[in-house]
Structure 1
Amino acid sequence: MKHAISRLLLVTSTLGLCASAGAETTLRMAHLWPAGSAVNQDIYQAWANQVEQESNGQIKVEIYPSQTLAKADQAYDAAANGIADISVTLQGYTAGRFPLTEIVQLPGVANSASQGACILQTLYDEGDIVGEYSDTHVLFMFTTGPAYLHTRDTEIRTPADLQGLRIRRPSEVAGEMLASMGAQPLGMPAPDIYTALQRGVMDGLSFPWEAMKVFRINELTNYHLQVPYYAGAIVATMSQTAYDRLSPEMQAVIDDNSGMAWALKAGQVFGELDKAGREEAEAQGDTIHVVEDPLNDPAWAAPLKQGTENYLKRLEERGLDNAKEVYEKALALRERCEA
């Protein structure tokens, strides 16, 4: 009788880990991307398939896309608290929680998703930002490609053109830069943008080309300005409790599918989607302007550099005395991580 009760308790665990007599474990993964997107299929489903294969079927992964298990701004806590066994989310959704991580999002740090993934994962692997994730078991980190400015009806060429426009901001830091240029930043998760733009709640947004395609935003926009002032940091992380409950052999399977290899794979997928997103906008006849070197551009350099300085200063005021050191290291990693 005691054995039967113990077995029942394992099966009904509220942590989402379902263990059977055959030692099979099901992990629930939460993320915000659509189920049919290449991001879900080529990164998260591919990861799930690899883990299942290498565990000989002892680990299975149930994927809950489109915020169906946890909202984007609550996804990290969902993993930390065991509501989800694995969560993938953008750190920018929880402003101020990952301050050193968000340094990678600053203008000029990464020129592509692959480069950003390499820089971010290296900072984690070498201990520079590891302390920000002590409440979960990190699998891998990566970034989007550079985020640009996209609008429905207003053509943007200079910061002055942003005056009064309601622009969705991807993070608090990016929002401050937009506000300094006269825009009205709005915060909302990526899956909500289409409806907000369609209803006229906002005039435009900041998004990488990848997201313009994945979330179908190209359908609603006509003007695009490629000024790379931001990139989104993303973390795939696991409940520490869920990880600890695995056998050493199954933990080894998770470990073998963590770190730089998967960070770079994710970066490659995002890079390919960036290319496809721009091609989609070109095919529909949209107007696209490009600022080649924004940190040295007469119009854009000042607000972007000031935004960076403001952010680093704020981190130092919070007692993060190594903020500039992490920033300088991120810049130095660009050559090692050149993609």
Structure 2
Amino acid sequence: MSGCSNKSENEGSVTSEQEVTTLRFSHFWPATSAMQTDVFEPWVKKLETESNGRLEVQIFPSATLSKPDVTYDAAAKGTIDIGSQLQGYTAGRFPLSQIAELPGLSNSAGQMSCMLQKLYDDGDISSEYEDTHLLFMMGAGPGVLHTVDKPIRTPEDMKGMRIRKPSAVAGDIIEAAGGSSVGLPANDLYTSLQRGVIDGLSMPWSPTGDFKLTEITNAHTNIPFYSTGILVTMNKDRYEGLPDDLKKIIDDNSGKVMADIAGEMFDKEDARFMEASRAKGDIMIDIPDPLNDPAWKGPLLKGSQNYVNDVNALGLDGDAVYEKAKAASASCKA
């Protein structure tokens, strides 16, 4: 989609003879979230400023343009121009990328964002994105168990509980601990908790606060038992059809520079929402090193190995990528 502007060059914008390329960007976060206001909006503004107004990006938050679990496919097909979604929202679509989500690999959003971007840049997971033009990777902070009533101190406490899983990785671990994993999009979680459809959820602090789920949950187990990968990608034909100078502007504002910005935002928001819940008197249970905790080590390692075995069964070298992810984890450790 393109249009024209009547602003003069003296105003720092395009002339009427210059074509404006308008890109539609779809994501599922609320319009008031820090992801929208602190990451996406400044990114869009930078693209527009550096292109002298020749690039215009329209942001569609709250999954108004594409459903959360089909946003990547929508970008691949050209239904949207740019999209952001969790890899875990499309089960089996990004099996190698999701190895980075396994427990013990990441303790912060900054580390997770760095890991994913490095694995992509090094070619270890890039084959999973060949039908689009990947812009940058992000990672949320460690997953936390949030429950309405029953605190979770040990894996046994999850038995009989219905816990929302954000991905296959987290689902494997919840099941290994004895809980029942339930797949639900983030936009449905508030009402599902209200109605008792689920007893709790597994999600980092930042999106838990963004979706106001901290209003309903009152017990929280801070345990880095999985991490969440996130992508931002662009329709390949749309990117390749741009003039070279506009491609360069997009390239200069993609990759690790954006991974770092997003990771910093997530870590800041994680701390803010956790402190707010602590201040209102919620139960806080801290398990900072679960792989060395006698109660948690077994289920976490079992869930991890189950996932890697499933990846191997697809004919992919899950073991090799797991080793690469461990190396990336070490190099990205803050």
Q: Could you say which TM-score interval applies, normalised by the shorter chain?
A: over 0.9
Distance (whole Å) between structure 2 residues aligned to residue 105 and residue 169 of structure 1: 13
Mapped pair 1:131 → 2:131: no
Deviations 1:137-177 (A, max 9, x none): 00000100000101001111111111111110011121121
Mapped pair 1:242 → 2:238: yes
Q: Pick the aligned partner of 2:18 from 13, 16, 22.
A: 22
Q: Pick the aligned partner of 1:314 from 310, 314, 325.
A: 310
- Preserved CA contact (<8 Å) 1:211 1:277: no
Distance (whole Å) between structure 1 residues aligned to residue 229 and residue 288 of structure 2: 22
Distance (whole Å) between structure 2 residues aligned to residue 259 and residue 180 of structure 1: 35
CA 1:19–1:130 in structure 2 vs 1: closer, same or farther (change >3 Å)?
farther
TM superposition shift of 1:85: 0.2
- Preserved CA contact (<8 Å) 2:172 2:306: no
Q: Pick the aligned partner of 1:176 from 172, 176, 180.
A: 172
Two-structure CA RMSD over aligned residues (Å): 1.0
Mapped pair 1:219 → 2:215: yes
Range with greater deviation from structure 2 (70-79 or 312-321): 312-321
SS at the partner of 1:288? strand
What residue ranges of structure 1 are gaps of 5+ in the alignment? 1-16
TM superposition shift of 1:318: 1.1
Instruction: Give runs of aligned pairs for residues 1-339 of structure 1, distance below 5 A.
Output: 17-20=1-4, 22-321=18-317, 323-339=318-334
Distance (whole Å) between structure 2 residues aligned to residue 255 and residue 238 of structure 1: 12
Distance (whole Å) between structure 2 residues aligned to residue 110 and residue 243 of structure 1: 32
**1:333 partner letter:** A
Distance (whole Å) between structure 1 residues aligned to residue 282 and residue 47 of structure 2: 41
Runs of 4+ with deviation above 6 angstroms: none
Distance (whole Å) between structure 2 residues aligned to residue 335 and residue 129 of structure 1: 18
The number of residues matched between the two structures is 322
**1:330 partner letter:** A
- Preserved CA contact (<8 Å) 2:25 2:81: yes
- Preserved CA contact (<8 Å) 2:3 2:19: yes
What residue ranges of structure 2 are gaps of 5+ in the alignment? 5-16
Distance (whole Å) between structure 1 residues aligned to residue 189 and residue 42 of structure 2: 27
Distance (whole Å) between structure 2 residues aligned to residue 82 and residue 292 of structure 1: 42
Deviations 1:215-273 (A, max 9, x none): 11110011111121111100000001111221111111111111100111011001101
TM superposition shift of 1:19: 4.5
So what's the TM-score if we normalise by structure 1?
Answer: 0.93
- Preserved CA contact (<8 Å) 2:24 2:59: yes
TM superposition shift of 1:327: 1.0
